[in-house]
Amino acid sequence: MEQAAAPAAPHDPAETRLTVTSPEQMRELGRRLAKLLRAGDLVMLTGELGAGKTTLTRGLGEGMGVRGAVTSPTFVIARVHPSLGDGPPLVHVDAYRLSGGLDEMEDLDLDVSLPDSVIVVEWGEGKVEELTEDRLQVVIHRAVGDTTDEVRHVTVTGLGGRWADAALETLAA
């Protein structure tokens, strides 16, 4: 993976840009990202269908050492993967089929789960930002249309004080 951005100024959101060229690299990015996460973190994943959001989350689960195979929760909306060790559980949410904002997601009790869990929300933009101002936004861009191109351009942005000194540039290692 290649890093394409300089470190942000202290007053700016922390951000790093990466190029990922295979599903295995996307999983590895998730494993590296897991090392930066702790209970109370909200990760929002944005990208086209097939961009690699679930693949990244699968790597997060591996890196966090959680129980169960991480698969897309599209039809169940949310899955909880308890930790196999002393780490936090991973709550994996797919908000694709939810049209409303946080009100529609209240039944998931994400606000109750957040302090003790790492919550990853696919398609969460415009739906879960109110949970916390400290969040990690991961945007995955891929070529669209009739293509077999595996290249993904990933932008990881840390918002809020939690991510001010998070060393996101280590994700490119």
**Tell me: the pLDDT tens digits for 28-43?**
999 999 999 999 999 9
Q: For the CA atoms of 43, 138, 134, 122, what is the dihedral angle to 10 degrees?
A: -40
Q: Is the pLDDT of residue 75 over 70?
A: no
Structure-token match 């899955």, residue found: 79
Summarize the confidence of residues 74-96 as an average pLDDT.
84
Residue 103 is given by DSSP the state H
Among 113-117, 121-125, 151-155, the minimum mean pLDDT is found in 113-117
Q: What is the pLDDT of residue 12?
A: 67
Entry pTM: 0.84
**Binning pLDDT at 50, 70 and 90, where does residue 130 land?**
confident
**How far is Cα 98 from Cα 11, in angstroms, rounded to an integer?**
34
**How far is Cα 157 from Cα 134, in angstroms, rounded to an integer?**
11
User: How far apart are the two ends of the chain, measured CA to CA in Å?
Assistant: 8
Chain centroid to CA 156? 9
Summarize the confidence of residues 52-62 as an average pLDDT.
95
Structure-model confidence comparison of residues 92 and 144, the more confident one: 92
Q: pLDDT tens across 9-25, in order?
A: 444 678 999 999 999 99
Report angle CA 25, 27, 28 to the nearest 5 degrees: 60
**How far is Cα 8 from Cα 6, in angstroms, rounded to an integer?**
6
**How far is Cα 10 from Cα 158, in angstroms, rounded to an integer?**
12
